[in-house]
């Protein structure tokens, strides 16, 4: 590797560490501000509720991190979440063991992601268009599967999982922790993780260096869909039903978590720890806003503005580095 490439990598690592440090400061200040405004914010009940909310978006954001690092985008995560929720619910109601219903839903969701990866790579369809179409198609499929009605009558153990705690921490949060650890390890210590960064930096250069772009793109979108499916199972447990409208708009929060966490929509910049911090910030804003009685539409405006500002800062940083 050339000295110039090494220098660029060192600059990138320093920027990532600085961004994560700043995010920690922002997160702490945000939490303190909300605590001052409403002392119920740090109550055990609200913190537990916040962890449950964060778990679902957090799992989605782990998958979205891989996609954005590869210079892609996945707008279908909310629809895949609903698909897995409805499919698993229908299988459970039909008498399948809980573990079998969940496994089938996870595999089916991953297959949808892999198919979108094929369309993007082989069909040369831009990721935005492919996943936008996938979002609509999968949501329509979900509505057909359940006739636009929620699926009730699930085993008691499903709902029980959502309220279970271990060491005072909701069981759902542990699923998020596991997803974060897996995502962090894969992105940092595996060949696949290095390939993701290489593809996001320059796909043609990655191809010329021997990286199989097609297989990696399929794996990236399959992983994103797998995380969406896991989030769908968590949503099913939390609601106690399979809900066809579940996950609508969640793609916004997942993208926001990655971008606010230092990820670049241009690819190759970002990290799982940054995404975790971004997820907590987004979830805290929504939870705190609800606690303070702020109009949810105003919160949507705020989250959308955060995405724009984060991308603007990323563009300014890149212009300065040129």
Compute CA distances 112 → 74, 115, 138, 139, 256, whole Å: 12, 5, 9, 12, 23
Per-residue model confidence (pLDDT) at position 5:
44
CA distance 150 to 320: 51
- The answer to whether residue 19 scores a pLDDT higher than 80 is no
Band the pLDDT of 315: cuts 50, 70, 90.
confident
Per-residue model confidence (pLDDT) at position 291:
86
- If you count DSSP H runs as helices and E runs as strands, how many of each does the chain have, helices first? 13, 2
Handedness of CA 289, 295, 296, 298 (dihedral sign): negative
Compute CA distances 84 → 102, 237, 240, whole Å: 8, 12, 14
Structure tokens of 234? 């968590």
- The answer to whether residue 206 scores a pLDDT higher than 50 is yes
The 10s digit of each residue's pLDDT in 145-170 is 999 999 999 999 998 998 899 988 99
Compute the 3-state secondary structure of the chain and give helix, strand, coil in percent, each to the nearest 5.
Answer: 80, 0, 20
Structure tokens of 1? 């590797």
What lies within 8 Å, CB to CB, of 64 at 6+ separation is: 74, 77, 224, 227, 251, 254, 255, 257, 258, 275
- Helix/strand/coil for 99: helix
Q: What residue ranges in the chain does DSSP mark as E strands?
A: 165-166, 169-170
Structure tokens of 294? 């702020």
Per-residue model confidence (pLDDT) at position 39:
82
CA distance 18 to 212: 33
- The answer to whether residue 81 scores a pLDDT higher than 60 is yes
Tell me which of 8-17, 80-89, 251-260 is least confident: 8-17
Per-residue model confidence (pLDDT) at position 2:
45
228-231-237 Cα angle (round to 5): 145
The mean pLDDT value for 31-38 works out to 86
CA distance 116 to 273: 27
The mean pLDDT value for 251-262 works out to 90
Compute CA distances 71 → 80, 270, 298, 304, 306, whole Å: 20, 11, 29, 20, 19
User: pTM here?
Assistant: 0.89
Q: What is the dihedral of CA 291, 294, 295, 297, to 10 degrees?
A: -90
CA distance 264 to 200: 10
Per-residue model confidence (pLDDT) at position 13:
52
Tell me which of 9-23, 86-100, 208-222 is least confident: 9-23
φ/ψ of residue 245, rounded to 5 = -90, 0
Give the residues across from 165 on adjacent strands: 170
């Amino acid at each position: 590797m050339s000295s110039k490439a090494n220098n660029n990598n060192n600059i990138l690592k320093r920027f990532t560490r600085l961004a994560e440090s700043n995010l920690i400061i922002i997160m702490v200040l945000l939490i303190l501000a909300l605590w001052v405004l409403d002392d119920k914010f740090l109550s055990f009940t609200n913190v537990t509720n916040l962890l449950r909310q964060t778990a679902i978006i957090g799992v989605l954001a782990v998958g979205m991190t891989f996609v954005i690092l590869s210079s892609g985008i996945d707008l279908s995560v909310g629809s895949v979440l609903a698909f897995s929720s409805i499919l698993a619910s229908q299988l459970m109601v039909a008498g399948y063991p809980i573990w079998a219903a969940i496994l089938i839903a996870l595999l089916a969701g991953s297959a949808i992601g892999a198919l979108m990866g094929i369309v993007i790579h082989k069909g040369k369809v831009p990721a935005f268009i492919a996943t936008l179409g996938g979002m609509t198609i999968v949501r329509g499929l979900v509505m057909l599967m359940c006739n636009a009605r929620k699926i009730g009558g699930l085993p008691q153990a499903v709902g029980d999982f959502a309220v279970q705690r271990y060491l005072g921490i909701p069981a759902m949060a542990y699923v998020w922790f596991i997803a974060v650890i897996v995502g962090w390890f894969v992105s940092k210590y595996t060949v696949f993780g290095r390939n993701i960064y290489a593809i996001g930096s320059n796909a043609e250069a990655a191809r010329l260096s021997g990286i199989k772009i097609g297989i990696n793109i399929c794996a990236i979108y399959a992983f994103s869909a797998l995380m969406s499916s896991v989030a769908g199972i968590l949503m099913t447990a939390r609601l106690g039903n399979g809900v066809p409208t579940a996950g609508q708009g969640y793609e916004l929060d997942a993208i926001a978590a990655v971008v606010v966490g230092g990820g670049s929509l241009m690819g190759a910049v970002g990290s799982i720890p940054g995404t975790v911090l971004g997820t907590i910030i987004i979830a805290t804003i929504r939870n705190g806003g609800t606690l303070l009685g702020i109009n949810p539409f105003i919160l949507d405006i705020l989250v959308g503005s955060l995405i724009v500002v984060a991308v603007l800062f990323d563009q300014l940083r890149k212009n300065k580095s040129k």
